[in-house]
Amino acid sequence: MSEFDFDHIMSEIPSNEATGVSLASAEEIMAELEEYMSTSKWKAVSKTLLADGDIAYDANFSINGRAMRSTVIIEATSQAIRIVVTLPAKCMPEYGLIMAEYVTNFNYTKRFGTLQHDTRDGNIEYTYAYSYAEGFKVKTFDVYFNSCLFTAADACQEVDRLCVGRLSRRQLAELNEKLNRLVNALKE
């Protein structure tokens, strides 16, 4: 098989009946997630049915004085919960290369989840996904969700600066050196 064939791979996984494992349905996860939200600090949550049948829950949070939007998506087909925390800054297109290097270096130190820069709209997001196949576990979700919020908050100060090109003298000198090397390499 030369190309990635998701349907073939999924057909190789034993069914629920064959394994004896009861896999959770998206509806069960949705009900448990909504119960969790109603008993915790989630306020003004909006729920959206996405085109592919997934469900998205959006809420705003303030961490260390910074407003961030969080989206929790229940992905029915892949049986996953995806947590997306959008930082309150947008990267201007002319600073995209600077942001790309920062995102790469930031992600080296992360075991789970990734900081992402969407070059189409400039959004900066921290994303993590995990399987809910064996059910919704409140403690697990709470740990992952809070980890995403606080990891995104940790990145905010540097992201805010880089999104608008505010570099230190040292950073500017390093960038000029890298750009000179790139231009020279492209000339060859």
β-pair type (80-90, 66-75): antiparallel
Q: Show the 3-state SS of the chain.
A: CCCCCHHHHHHHCCCHHHHCCCCCCHHHHHHHHHHHHHHCCCCCCEEEECCCCCEEEEEEEEECCEEEEEEEEEECCCCEEEEEEEEEEECCHHHHHHHHHHHHHHHHCCCCCEEEECCCCCEEEEEEEEECCCCCCHHHHHHHHHHHHHHHHHHHHHHHHHHCCCCCHHHHHHHHHHHHHHHHHHHC
Q: Distances in Å between the alpha carbon of 146 and those of 36, 88, 175?
A: 14, 17, 34
Q: How far apart are CA 169 and CA 112, in angstroms?
A: 32
Whole-prediction pTM: 0.79
Per-residue pLDDT of the chain (188 residues; tens, 9 = 90+): 445 554 554 455 444 444 444 457 888 888 888 888 888 777 778 899 888 888 999 998 888 788 889 999 999 888 999 999 999 889 999 999 899 999 999 999 888 899 999 999 999 999 999 999 888 888 899 999 989 998 999 899 899 999 988 988 998 888 889 888 888 899 88
Q: How far apart are CA 90 and CA 96, in angstroms?
A: 10
When the candidates are 3.30.1460.70, 1.20.1250.20, 3.40.1360.10, 3.40.50.300, the CATH number that belongs to 6-187 is 3.30.1460.70
Q: Where exactly are the structural domains of the chain?
A: 6-187
Lateral strand order in the sheet of 46-49: 46-49, 55-63, 66-75, 80-90, 123-131, 114-117
